[in-house]
């Protein structure tokens, strides 16, 4: 079995995937727009991504621009979690993800001994960043 995250955006999927690519590396793959799909989507929306994936060393997630009539509610029931290889790498990732977003718990030494921070990025995706000391 394999479980993956599938992130939903409104008109920002490609921008968000490029943002995450700049932070994590990897490649955006399997990009598909609504252009040739036989579904009821306004002409002005057809250039958006119906499906794409960001894949790199140690990560792979999918994303799309939800159809205009699909409600997207930002909530607190899902976090993307990162276990970085070092404190410095984790601190840099946290700094980039929280830039333009909001910090819920600063990146610092936690009660369990690791370094940890929690934030919401500028696309309303929530992140937990962790690293062993």
- pTM, two decimal places: 0.88
Is residue 39 pLDDT above 90, yes or no? no
The yes-or-no answer to whether 6-65 and 80-131 have a common fold is yes
**CATH number, domain 6-65:** 3.10.180.10
Query: Is a pLDDT exceeding 90 seen at residue 75?
Result: no
Q: Whose CA is closest to 62, among 5, 122, 125? A: 5
Tell me which DSSP letter residue 94 carries. Answer: H
Separation between Cα atoms, residue 86 and residue 123, nearest integer Å = 25
80-131 fold: 2,3-Dihydroxybiphenyl 1,2-Dioxygenase; domain 1 (3.10.180)
**3/96 Cα distance (integer angstroms):** 26
Domain definitions of the chain by residue range? 6-65, 80-131
Closest CA to 23 of 97, 91, 114: 97
Task: Give the range among 34-43, 50-59, 70-79 with minimum mean pLDDT.
Answer: 70-79
Residue 91, classed as helix, strand or coil, is helix
Is the confidence at residue 38, as pLDDT, over 90?
no
Q: Is the pLDDT of residue 2 over 90?
A: no
> Closest Cα partner for 17 from 26, 8, 6, 28?
28
43-60 confidence digits (pLDDT tens): 999 999 999 999 999 999
């Amino acid at each position: 079995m394999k479980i993956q995250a599938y992130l939903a955006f409104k008109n920002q999927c490609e921008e968000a995937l490029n943002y995450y690519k700049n932070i994590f590396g990897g490649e955006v793959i399997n990009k598909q727009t609504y252009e040739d799909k036989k579904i009821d989507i306004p002409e002005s929306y057809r250039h958006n991504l119906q499906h794409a994936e960001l894949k790199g060393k140690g990560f792979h997630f999918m994303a799309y621009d939800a159809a205009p009539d699909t409600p997207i509610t930002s909530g607190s029931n899902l976090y993307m979690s990162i276990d970085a290889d070092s404190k410095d790498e984790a601190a840099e990732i946290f700094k980039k993800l929280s830039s333009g977003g909001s910090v819920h718990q600063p990146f610092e030494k936690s009660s369990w001994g690791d370094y940890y921070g929690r934030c919401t990025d500028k696309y309303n995706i929530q992140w937990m960043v962790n690293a062993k000391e």
